[in-house]
Structures are given as structure tokens and as C-alpha cells.
Amino acid sequence: MRWLRHLFAPAAQAAFPPASLDRIAQAIADGEKRHSGQVMFAVESDLSLTLLWQGINARQRAEHAFAVLRTWDTQANNGVLIYLLLADHAIEIVADRGLRAQVDEAQWQLVCEHLRQQLNERGHEAAVLAAVNEVSDLLAARFAPDPAGRSHNELPDRPQLLG
């Protein structure tokens, strides 16, 4: 049944039209003014039949996206990827090693649960905006912004449409 969900998955572009992507990018940029962390958002409609045949799950795909998008490549190792796989209704958050001692897995899972609930109640854009804000809150409590007010944007704020 999973392959059917992937075959008929909604397009990420339909769920996140350009204006929506712009607003999410702005929310990421605004959030990053409150902390020195780096936040990325990536969405994927479906997986290829090859990946499905290999048994790749959403977590593995999120970790792959984390690597390919170079979310790990920040000076303080404090990048965070919020990942959605629409066909599986899967939400994953992958945080870099600089965050592991700062934010425990239960807190990331709570963000995922809130995002899942918001997706059901408010729709894609509003849910992601809330999740970006929640991740920024976690980062702001642990990674102060640059005291000189300089922005060190190491990763793109624009959401990534994968696949």
C-alpha cells in the first residue's frame, strides 16, 4: 500500500505554492535573528519506486536530505532540518551534533507532534510557520544571536522542494 501512496502523492508545489514558500523563508530569516542557529525546511512529495523497494523510511530520507543540503555545515554545528514526506504523512527533525547536548529528542518529537496536529487543523503553511517558530524558540534559549547584531546566515532560508 505504501507504494500506492507514493504513486498518487500530492505535489509539494501544490501544498506549498511560491507565495507560501516566500512566507516560510521569511519566518526562517526572522527566527534566525533571535539566535545563532540555522533552520532549514525541506518537503518531498514522494519517494521513487527504487527507494521504496530498498525500504527507505522517512527518517533515513531526512538524514539524507540533511547531508545533501549541508545542514550540518555550520560553524557552531547547530543546524536543524524540518523535513516533511507528504506521501507518508511523515515529519522528521534532524539536528546537528552541536544541538544534541542542548535539546533532547523528546523536545524535537514534541515539535513534530505539534506540527502534525497543526497540519490536520490549519493546513500546510500555517503548520510549518508554527514549527519554524517553535524550533527558533528552542534555539533562542540555547544559542544567543550575535551580540554585534550581525547575521551569519550560513544556510539558505528558502524551503527546499525535494524529489
Domain boundaries in the chain?
A: 2-162
* Record: fold of 2-162: Diaminopimelate Epimerase; Chain A, domain 1 (3.10.310)
What is the rounded distance in angstroms from the CA atom of residue 48 to the CA atom of residue 22?
Answer: 27
Rounded CA-CA distance 75/152 in Å is 10
What gap in Å lies between CA 80 and CA 76, rounded to an integer?
A: 12
pLDDT tens, per residue, the chain with 163 residues: 898 999 899 899 999 999 999 999 999 999 999 999 999 999 999 999 999 999 999 999 999 999 999 999 888 899 999 999 999 999 999 999 999 889 999 999 999 999 999 999 999 999 999 999 999 999 999 988 877 655 678 899 999 999 7
- What is the pTM assigned to this prediction? 0.94
